[in-house]
Amino acid sequence: MAVVERIGTWNVCGLRDKEPEIVDFMNKRRITVMGLADCRRSGKGCKEIHSNYVLIWNGVEQRQRPKHGVAFILHPDTAKNLTDTADTLLNTVKKACGTKGQNRGQRKATVWWNDEVKEAVKEKKRLFRVWVKSQTHEDYVNYRLVGRNSKRVVKTAKDSSWTDYGRHLTELCKQSPR
């Protein structure tokens, strides 16, 4: 007779004191492997928890404040079979999903941001700083004029980006068989 593995996922928003509740849920639903997102643990490891279930986790580096991270809770029978492959499983999940927050300190790339937009925004910011220092009406007028131009350049870039995106989607729809 084939063994049926039931797999579940749960975004736990921190694992603290939730293991017994998750194990009870797994028992009721006969789930053998539960994948947990956002377990908020640091380091990586494997330990036995409530009712001989096994918790395997991989979070941020040990020195960092616990946030994000992934984990698995395994049924005792399944844990015996998977103990050897736990590191492989965790490393695969870590590579596929990551363990840090979005952006990782980098700004998101936008399709419409180009050199023309960059220069227009840079000039607007420069004139703003000039106006703040001088507080003259002439510098304010210059800042407002360049600001309007900057908005126009950004809007044009965004509009052309959306037009290109729509054109690209139309081409994909034409190419795909139904």
Q: Nearest Cα to 36, choosing from 97, 95, 82?
A: 97
Name the pTM for this structure.
0.45
* Most confident region among 34-38, 51-55, 70-74, 156-160 by mean pLDDT: 156-160
Point out the least confidently predicted range of 6-10, 122-126, 152-156.
6-10
Domain boundaries, the chain: 7-103, 115-175
CA angle 125, 130, 135 (to 5 degrees): 125
Residue 1: the pLDDT is 44
> Is residue 142 very low, low, confident or very high in pLDDT (cuts 50, 70, 90)?
very high
CA angle 80, 82, 85 (to 5 degrees): 140
pLDDT tens string 12-32: 888 778 888 888 888 898 888
> Is residue 7 very low, low, confident or very high in pLDDT (cuts 50, 70, 90)?
confident
